[in-house]
Amino acid sequence: MAERYVPAAGRPAFTRYYDTVVALTMREATFRGRLAAQVLDGLAPGGTVVDVGCGTGTLAIALASAGGGAVIGVDGDSEVLALAQAKPGADSVQWRKGLATALPLPGASADRVVMALLLHHLDPASKRTALAEALRVLRPGGRLHVADWGRPRDPLMRAAAWALQRVDGPEGLREHLEGAVPVLLADAGFVAVAVHDRLRTGWGSLELLSALRP
């Protein structure tokens, strides 16, 4: 069976509105600022950061402009990559077309891998393959950073998550809404799995996690 590809906005027709929706509903400046700070913390000069499922490139460009070493943005959607490459500062990022389940990168070549709002788009098997790919491309001691949905902790967040499932579909979200993402990272071979932040957003509870490649 062919792998189902889900674009950043959930449906291809919504791609052009992705940045606007994220800005209005996701506390974008807060979550991307905290995520970038976590990614860059302890990164050696000249280190390599890979933004997997980079979408329209906002985070990748921010990381590069903050001195994030060599930043590589990977996405499987040509349309979304074109939007990313048209943004100010895009020349500081290396853009590559590729899937999270088959990263176009050699093994042990990255110091940081970032997956922001990516994993919930993948079915359970593809989620595990993507995490195995992240482990493969990281150097020993490198870090994976994940920003994605977690278990709703009150009725309002459960209602927001219900609405999100209407857009993105329930299959990829099920494990997230059960609070299983830390377990997925550990099962993939990562260690020192930690949840750093939980942010309330218009679509549910957004968690920022990190884990180490041993």
DSSP 17: G
Fold of the CATH domain 45-212: Rossmann fold (3.40.50)
The whole-model pTM stands at: 0.88
Element (H, E) at 141: strand 138-149
The alpha-helical segments, DSSP class H, found in 26-179 are 28-40, 58-65, 78-85, 124-137, 155-168, 170-177
CA distance 173 to 171: 6
Q: What is the pLDDT of residues 132-176, one digit of tens each?
A: 999 999 999 999 999 999 999 888 889 888 888 988 888 999 999
Q: What is the pLDDT of residues 93-139, one digit of tens each?
A: 999 999 999 999 999 999 999 999 999 999 999 999 999 999 999 99
pLDDT surpassing 90 at residue 7: no
Across the chain, which distance is largest between two alpha carbons, in Å? 45
